Chains A and B, each alone.
Chain A
Amino acid sequence: MKNIVSIKTKISNFIINVDINLKEGINCFFGPSGAGKTSIINCIAGINKAKESKIIINNKTLEDTNKNIFVPIHKRNIGYIFQDSRLFPHLNIKNNLLYGLKLNYKKKKIFHYDEVINLLSLSHLLHRFPYNLSGGEKQRVAIGRALLCQPDLLLMDEPLASLDQDKKDELIKYIVKINEILSIPAIYVSHAISETFILANCVHFIKNGTLIYSGNRDKSINFYNKNENFIFRDSYIKGKVIKANLSEGLTKIKLGKDSLTVFSNTLHLDQNVIVKIKATDIIISTVIPDKLSSLNYLKTNIEEVVFQEGLACLILNYEKNTIKALLTKKSYTKLNIKKGMQCYAIIKALNINDVTNINLV
């Protein structure tokens, strides 16, 4: 199946110039706010008109400025889940869901009404109106409404952005569930890297209106860890739970050949997770740190040292993974650190994206 998005356009003074090949499953458009991600998907949906474009979705040409093709929005067959849900205020939930379904009744049904309602737990909301739904519930209805119009492509524009953390975790689980049965490609726009890594099959990094990198999840994690644009932020490593709910309430997570111990009672055995390590949560030691209270350290190689704003940023190599650590210049000089040296990264705290039942392979 061919899914190509090629857009060259200018919106006020902002230039967008991207060529993106969409892969199967969820394609995340990741980048900072104002990078042009939403403008790109608005072009795909036909809401924005690009100066030069070639958009092919599911082998159908939606736009080709060379051949003067521009399929209008309502004939594009694209399900769009907006950041602000945009449920129709004058219709109840049932009629909101049916709106797209009724208009596309002739199409081959990929998503059935009952199935979607079950999947998104909407049955108790059907007779209510949008104004008395919570933010998370509204987004679930918006997802259901978009699926029921039997789209060839699903667009999600930061659907979690207006939700609090609990609701975010809850909605992510629903999106993961949908992804399991989704037979169409989807684009998920986000500026939050953790949800990007949880959901993406393929990540497209977008900055200043251009595509700077495309790759599957593993490659993207590496790219993100190494990329200078994100240098002072966090590092992400894939891991697997090898021991859960030990007598002390501790959980062991295997990363490469080492394992880290965390305090958790939500993780279960054999679960795949992505571990997030903040650059400021790492202490560097040149000797084996066996007399410390911290339980977690990794043996690493110093690949690169970058100085920025009076701080030394160490780029550490741990079994093909990149971990970033921040030191003050003073401690950097004291330790006499050099490129290529071996050192131990002691991890003070880690953050685990513990979305249950996610297959990260």
Chain B
Amino acid sequence: MNAPAIPEPYPADSVGLVTPQRVAIDTPLQLDCGRTLARFDLTVETYGTLNATASNAILVCHALSGDHHAAGYHSPADRKPGWWDNCIGPGKPLDTRRFFVVSLNNLGGCRGSTGPNTFNPESGRLWGPDFPLLTVRDWVRSQALLADTLGIEQWAAAIGGSLGGMQVMQWTIDLPHRVRHACVIAAAPKLSAQNIAFNEIARQAILSDPEFHGGRFYEHNVVPSRGLKLARMLGHITYLSDAAMRQRFGSELKLAAPAFNFDVEFEVESYLRHQGQSFVDRFDANTYLLMTKALDYFDPARDFGDSLAEALRRATARYMVIAFSSDWRFSPARSREIVRALVEAGRDVSYALIDSQLGHDDFLMPIPEYHRVLGAFLERVANDIGPTGAPT
């Protein structure tokens, strides 16, 4: 499962070639919706080496459209590395010489883990709309079973951005003894009405596509590409700041004069159409619906009289909360709500506000100030482990 020696074409700070593994989990999983999954598979990538006491493991939780492929390359022909390659590798903040990094495709995903586009043994066909809707708490339970399988009793740290950060928070509340450090990046304590509104439009775009077929589009050999494309285009607007869009695309016509039709006339239209189309090629519409619902349902305070501080009193992890100044999807004010609750609960927490330009997407960017503070936090995580981790 570990990365082999890095071949020549890859930079020295890359984990190099990686091979995803499918981990079968045969323990029944009780879900928040009341249903139970008898068994499930998770697609997983790991980077670095687990030490003898299994004390150097870091869980990376992915966001809405992420997957297990966080770092390195699947083949020498790959044009791009994993989605968080700038942060994971030898000498990077998630230093694979010290940490054993675990990245998975969440349950309900569409990249090999059990989800709507996989085979349902009970019905004998693809799950499709029969796949249960999930919550962030369900993901934490499924990830805990994965940790059991990997022999990891306690994560040295759990880390994630956006929806990934929400999973990290939920981990520290539901299974406090299993997380020593928690890094919550560009997240929110729960979605705002505006956040839910964007998700609802995205879902309606998919649900109203005639080729959605009630989620059974696989059996019709079609994909609801128009709906999924629209959903992704909408999402991308919320990932970028107004200033970043203005700088990247401007609002000048591509031609000398208006053509008075609905073809691409502005750069931003071209960008959104491209993003939408490439998403259709790699993502599943049912998974998109499921992921947005998990976001909408996320509210760890709900079971604690709507008090996030009360929820966090159970937690024991040391927290690092990071927000980005130009993020309006989950703005710094939302991160400050988390910090405020953590302080009220008397938890150890540091908060960094990164001066940024791009918007929500900045959590994926190698901003020096961001990686410096993340590196400082992970240095503490490494110090807590002690010198048992064998260098790779």
Is A bound to B? no
